[in-house]
Amino acid sequence: MWFTIFILLVVLALCFAVLVAWEYGVFTNRYPQFRPNQDVPKIIHLMYFPWDKNQNLLKNQNDFDRTYCDELRKAYPDMLVMMWTLPLVHSFCDKHYPGLWEMVRQNAVRPTQLVDLFRWLVVYHFGGLYLQYDSKLYVHPEQLLPSQGFDLRLYTEFVWVTPVWQWLAGRKFAIRNYLPEEKWRIMNQLFAATPKHPYVWLTWTSILERMCKWKPKCDYDILFIGANAFVSELYDKVGQKQKTTERINFWQTRHLVKVSNKGSWRLDHSY
């Protein structure tokens, strides 16, 4: 009897392991087929707003190591690398989106919220690829752009495989009314689109609306207002229903790029 129970438990564990591997995309090709959409500009957007350990923006916004940007420009001369600093974004907003800068600065509580919104704005305006600063590329950056037949590419950070996992992940946070997390956690550190893409417009305008509505009380609130938790919610409600949206699974994402995640925006580690 005990042996039978043991065998059943082993079989169940193996089935669950296969389910997890399936959801994470382990059984797919490591790299998505590379057929670039020629309508996507060959632009890499980098953004860096340095702040101190107390979450205060540095007075000298050019006080950071530009080696990564310089190395990208040298390694990929066929790509236009746009290095966005706070003063450059300020000037860009004043020229193309009057009043936006003031609205964002009045409502952003933490400096990371500025990056959360403006990264989507510059990709909306110019198109191309947004790449988290200091991320490690395993392929030519052109392979990170949307494929033929798609005008938006999103990347998977991880997967809440079962409804129980989704519920456990979301049950602690009042800002989301204790509702379960979405199945797929979508990155905001890496994405690409054609210029003036309506979904990208919806993303940055929604972040602005949520920034005006909610003020963060913990680090997770930052994610829900305008970062990965919100991006995942929007994909679940809107993005996955659009036929021209391409989502790269977890397995493929990890073989394309290692996204930098220094966590300098965090104030607590309660989740």
What's the pTM? Answer: 0.89
Q: 11 in a domain, yes or no?
A: no
- Angle, CA 35 vertex, CA 31 and CA 40 arms, to 5°: 110
DSSP characters over 68-92: HHHHHHHH-TTSEEEEE-HHHHHHH
In a domain, 24, yes or no: no
- The stretch 182-211 carries a mean pLDDT of 97
pLDDT at 15 over 60: no
Higher pLDDT, 38 or 161: 38
DSSP helix/strand/coil, 187:
strand
Q: Is 265 part of a structural domain of the chain?
A: no
Q: Who has greater pLDDT, 196 or 158?
A: 196
44 pLDDT tier (thresholds 50, 70, 90): very high
Q: For residue 35, what pLDDT band results from cuts at 50, 70 and 90?
A: confident
Specify if 220 maps to a domain. yes
- Domain membership of residue 1 (yes or no) is no
Higher pLDDT, 30 or 214: 214
Strand locations in 160-210, DSSP E? 184-193
The answer as to whether 267 is a domain residue is no
- Mention every residue, 6+ apart, whose C-beta is less than 8 A from residue 192: 40, 123, 128, 129, 130, 144, 145, 146, 152, 153
Rounded Cα–Cα distance for residues 259 and 122 (Å): 19
Q: How many residues does this entry show for the chain?
A: 271
Average pLDDT over the chain reads 88
Per-residue pLDDT at 46? 98
Q: Is position 203 within any domain? A: yes
Mean pLDDT on 39-58: 93
Quick: pLDDT tens for 212-269.
999 999 999 999 999 999 999 999 999 999 999 999 999 899 999 999 887 776 777 5
- Domain around 190: 31-258
pLDDT confidence band for 159 (50 / 70 / 90):
confident
Domain count, the chain: 1
Q: 190 in a domain, yes or no? A: yes
CATH number of the domain encompassing residue 189: 3.90.550
Closest of 104, 101, 61, 66 to residue 83, by C-alpha:
66
Q: What residues contact residue 35 under an 8 Å CB cut-off, 6+ apart? A: 147, 148
